[in-house]
Amino acid sequence: MAQFCLFFLLLLLFVPCALSRSLSSSNPHSQIFDVAESIKKTVQVLSPTSQTFQQEAITSTASNTSSISVSIYPRSALVKPRHKDYASLTLSRLERDSARVSSLTMKLTLSLTNFTHSDLKPVQTMLQPEDLQTPITSGASQGSGEYFTRLGLGQPAKEFYMVLDTGSDITWLQCEPCSDCYQQSDPVFNPSGSSTYSRVSCDDAHCSALEVSACGTNACLYQVSYGDGSFTVGEFATETVSFGNSGSFSKVAIGCGHDNEGLFVGAAGLIALGGGTLSLPSQIKASSFSYCFVDRDSASSSTLDFNSARPGDSVIAPLLRNSRRSTFFYVGLTGISVGGQMLSIPASVFQVDGSGNGGIIVDSGTAVTRLQTTAYNALRDSFVKFTQNLPSAGQFALFDTCYDLSSMTKVSVPTVALHFTGDKTLSLHPKNYLIAVDSSGKFCLAFAPTEGSLSIIGNIQQQGTRVSYDLASNLVGFSPDKC
């Protein structure tokens, strides 16, 4: 009898646990989302004692003579957020993100119209030699760019924090003398201190490849403008670019910005990883590059790699190009599923049409994935159907589907997966589509609609996944948990 009672007691203790595990794993179309861990990160990122990266901790490694690897890390590691709470930080991030999307949309729209490069000229008032006086610092406090790496420039090399951007083709940094320079973490680059700095002449092929250029005093002038009104203006030059101990490349064309205004606070400039002829991968003749973004509120780092082998478990998709806009990396997306059910989205939504409209790109600088309204509505409606048991929390900024998870530690949510050409499927982690917008337990579906034709896979959906761009074979690889 005593043995029976003991057995019965053990049964009561362990069977519920077994049942709980069974229930959580019996449905392949749902996942457990760690609410408590996500809220914890929102508190840590604003804590005065939270970790930040030290310059000496930024390292570069080379696994062989041809590959290059440098560290990348989130903005909060370089520029400490100065917000009263996480909700205001989120609003700031979303404001930058909306500006980013406007910039990409503007670039595409301009490419699809009948304009010529000769129609576009740099802002002349910013380029007069008499205006180039001693440096002053200015710029918005919220900053721009979510992920950074450290790049060496000049000879002898000096390292600078630079924003990673797959949506740009012109690498640039702030240069002395400054007409107007925003605040950056490193000293402003001084071309006179480098033995390899050389101005690009007006008849050079590099100058002709610029979308916006003019001829100054014995030098090619460039301008890069962004959709939010931010811009950089200066002289185009060639310089030695180095990647720590991984190697260096000479005569890389970059913009030396003497007037730089807008939302770039913190970084010295921008590394262009786009598909155009002037981008860094194109100029150093890289056959591939890859990156893995850690959580934006994390104190850890990952790497930006050039010419490295793609992880063997990558989900492979076609890397497509738009003949009207070589910068962007389009991907062969065929559909999206929620809770294991494919959404009713016409295939044409994710395809580039004959006029160059439509399609979906992978972008490092956009945070929130943008989908054409019909596709977004299908995604949202399906997600809401599977989460009727979760308390709704209305809207937050551009997010229209939010939940109050303040009373929960963990919660079951439906799976969300991206489906690519060739029946390849990338299943997203819950933290890639359900994000905290404050520290009180409010979480929102991290997708948004766009009225434009261009859809964008943003870096929230890329976090924790190594994204590999095989430029030689025109393939994109997604490998989860390879940071």
* Selected catalytic residue, list 97, 165, 169, 186: 165
What are the angstrom distances between the C-alpha of 272 and each of 40, 163, 193, 391, 420?
34, 8, 24, 42, 26
447-450 vs 369-372, strand pairing mode: parallel
> Is the preceding peptide bond at 129 cis, omega within 30 degrees of 0?
no
Q: Which of 180, 295, 297, 363 is catalytic?
A: 363
Active-site residue, 363 included = yes
Residues 273 and 280: beta-carbon distance below 8 Å: yes
Both tokens of 212, joined, read 């916006």
CB-neighbour burial class of residue 133 (10 A; exposed 0-12, middle 13-18, buried 19+): exposed
Taking CA atoms, 230 is separated from 99, 140, 227, in Å, by 10, 10, 7
User: What is Dmax (Cα atoms) for the chain?
Assistant: 101
Rg (CA), the chain: 24
Which residue reads 């690498």 in tokens? 171
Q: Which of 270, 300, 294 is nearest to 143 (CA)?
A: 270
Q: Looking at the DSSP assignment, which residues form a beta bridge with residue 337? A: 342, 417
Structure tokens at 349: 């939504």
Pseudo-torsion of CA 247, 250, 256, 261, nearest 10°? -30
CA distance 121 to 411: 54
186 as an active site residue: the answer is no
Instruction: Convert 361-406 into a string of H (helix), E (strand) and C (coil).
Output: EECCCCCCEEEEHHHHHHHHHHHHHHCCCCCECCCECCECCEEECC
Pairing of strands 416-420, 333-338: antiparallel
Residue 287, Cβ neighbours under 10 Å: how many?
14
- Point out the residues that are catalytic: 165, 363
